[in-house]
Amino acid sequence: MTNNNQLNLFSWNVNGIRAVEKKGFTDIIKNLNPDIIGIQETKAQPDQIPESIINMESYKNYWFSAVKKGYSGVGVLTRIEPLNVINGIGIEQFDIEGRVITLEFDDFYFINCYYPNAQHELLRIDYKTGFNTAILEYCEKLKKKKTIVICGDYNVAHKEIDLKNPRTNMNNPGFSIQERDSMDTFINTGYIDTFRMFNNEPNNYTWWSYRFNARKRNIGWRIDYFCVDESSVTRILDAEIHPSVLGSDHCPVSMKLKV
């Protein structure tokens, strides 16, 4: 544990665990020094995870992959041994895509999610909103037992402040009214966007297109989040975005949790 009184929690869509490993993933993790990190879009089966990651000193690792090879997938590296690991949410149409892994600890659940992309012309909007409903129901069930930390790539910019060009993206995937309404429902049910507890400034993004030199120009979207249920709010010590960390088209996000 980094500090006896707090946990250093991270989340990162790596856009391919094998690709990011070649870009110095293990050194990046050592520098970030997470107690727990949720990883999304691994694009790998468990037996394809690089040995350097599997054997990282002081970390246990858990992986839940899509049935389709090279697609989706989530994982967690943790210094603290969980009481239980839950793969999926018990709904086959979502679980076959390897989108959710939950680690249960003494006094909280760490839920790591890779939310679906609504895709061009919103071709998967029904699948996306169905997933959003299902994950909310899942969280509501778990929070009756202990507090919830839910991180990951939510694939939605919630408010206009959360992307550079809101007006030109109104009907695009990630900023459609359906997705934003769904995020509203999640927040209004009693979940807190931890970054906005500490920072209400614009130009804070977690994803940038590889095109048009977008990252250098900071033309981005904030689509990666740490959220908690209301009973956890007093435990949140800090929440940050780490745009200087390279290796993916997303950057890591983090949260400090009092223990």
Q: Would you name the residues annotated as active-site residues?
A: 114, 153
- Of 254, 258, 257, 259, the residue nearest 31 (C-alpha): 254
Q: Is 141 helix (H, G, I), strand (E, B) or coil?
A: helix
End-to-end CA distance of the chain: 11
Helix (H) / strand (E) element for 127: namely helix 125-142
Q: Is 174 helix (H, G, I), strand (E, B) or coil?
A: coil
Contact 143, 229 (CB under 8 A): yes
Report the alpha-carbon distance of residue 142 to residue 131 in Å, rounded.
16
Instruction: Match 């949140």 to its residue by tokens.
Output: 236
Instruction: Match 């906005």 to its residue by tokens.
Output: 196
Report the alpha-carbon distance of residue 117 to residue 174 in Å, rounded.
7
The DSSP code for 230 is G
